[in-house]
Amino acid sequence: MGFTGTQTRQLRAKLDGKYVRSRNANGCTLHYVEGWHVVSEANRIFGFAGWDRRTLTTACVWSGMRSGSHSAAYMATVRVSVRAGDALVVREGSGTGEANAPMIGLADERALKGAETDATKRALATFGNPFGLALYDREQRKVRHHPSKPVTDQMANSPWILRSSAGEPTTSFDNSAGFGDALRQAMTKAESIELLFAVWEQNLATVRALSCSLKQNGKLKTDFGKSLVAHLKSCAIALVNPEPEPAQDETEAMAGKVRAGYEKNGSTAASEK
């Protein structure tokens, strides 16, 4: 047994562009995701007890003074182990870290932490787009970019697109009512909390844009966003606290009462005859 269906969909999902950062290095622009986000995604997809990280090797490759500050550069190798059902998936990554600080010990600590974080990101990236794999593609086709146009401009760019839990477009609508009804149906059909919130997250930007646009244009009779949030809550409650099925003994007791009622009515009817 490997990863669950939900985990597989999450690993195949596009990387949310709002978590992508960029920096200049030697005249080139590099795109990356921060270490805290990668660890957060691992906890979300694999579970807090579903994966481990172990630092295998560390090495100080340079240490000295630079511009009046202590500087250090480290390399590290990290092993990530993920429990996928009965299987254990092991990946390794190496990374580097550099740091400057007023004290040599602080410079070493920061550089070492940076190297371990970099190595962890490289190991987790092999599992899929949410961990930064999508950034190895120069065209970033597996990165979900958010529109940067004002909401009033977005309103003119209908149809509105409903997306699946994996971020893939499913249906387009020319009006808010159709989009809202389809999103409610998609949330109702979600079979788990993870899928429910994945559907909501993939369509949240569209909900916000539609709600704001309708308010600005005076076409909103009821609060579009609040009604969808209310439906999200009701779906979540239904998944967390499903209607319990009667226990077997309770079912038999109920059936016995029904039979007794029929027998009593039958005997009463016979005596009356």
- pLDDT given for residue 257 in this prediction: 57
Question: Distance (Å, rounded) from C-alpha 10 to C-alpha 20?
Answer: 17
Paired sense of beta strands 87-101 and 169-173, if any: unpaired
Q: Which CATH number fits domain 5-136: 3.40.50.12140, 3.40.50.720, 1.10.1040.10, 3.30.390.80?
A: 3.30.390.80
- CA dist 38 and 230 (Å) reads 30
CA 175: distance to chain centroid?
28
- Report the DSSP pairing between strands 143-144 and 15-16: parallel
Looking at residue 191, what is its pLDDT? 87
- Cβ neighbours of residue 182 closer than 8 Å, sequence gap 6 or more: 162, 171, 173
- Burial class from Cβ neighbours inside 10 Å (0-12, 13-18, 19+) for residue 148 reads exposed
The per-residue pLDDT for 271 is 46
Location of structure tokens 């990946």: 91
Q: State the pLDDT at residue 158.
A: 61
pTM: 0.56
Three-state helix/strand/coil letters over the chain = CCCCHHHHHHHHCCEEHHHEEEEEECCEEEEEECHHHHHHHHHHHHCCCCEEEEEEEEEEEEEEEECCEEEEEEEEEEEEEEEECCEEEEEEEEEEEEEEECCHHHHHHHHHHHHHHHHHHHHHHCCCHHHCHHHHCCCCCCEECCCCCCHHHHHCCCCEEEECCCCCEEEEECCHHHHHHHHHHHHHHCCCHHHHHHHHHHHHHHHHHHHHHHHHCCCCCCCHHHHHHHHHHHHHHHHHCCCCCCCHHHHHHHHHHHHHHHHHHHHHHHHHC
The count of C-alpha atoms lying within 13 angstroms of the C-alpha of 238, restricted to the half-sphere facing its C-beta, is 13
- pLDDT digit string (tens) for the chain, length 273 residues: 689 999 999 999 999 998 999 888 777 888 999 999 999 999 999 999 999 999 999 999 999 998 889 999 999 999 999 999 999 999 999 999 999 999 999 999 999 999 999 999 999 999 999 999 999 998 888 998 876 544 444 444 567 888 887 777 788 888 888 888 999 999 999 888 888 888 888 888 888 888 777 776 665 545 778 889 999 999 988 888 776 555 555 555 555 555 555 455 554 444 444
Q: How high is the pLDDT of residue 269?
A: 42
pLDDT at 115: 97
In the chain, which residues fall in CATH 3.30.390.80? 5-136
Task: Give the per-residue pLDDT at 177.
Answer: 85
Q: What is the pLDDT of residue 155?
A: 42
Nearest to 130 by CA among 165, 181, 92: 165
The dihedrals phi and psi of 247, each to the nearest 5 degrees, come to -65, 160
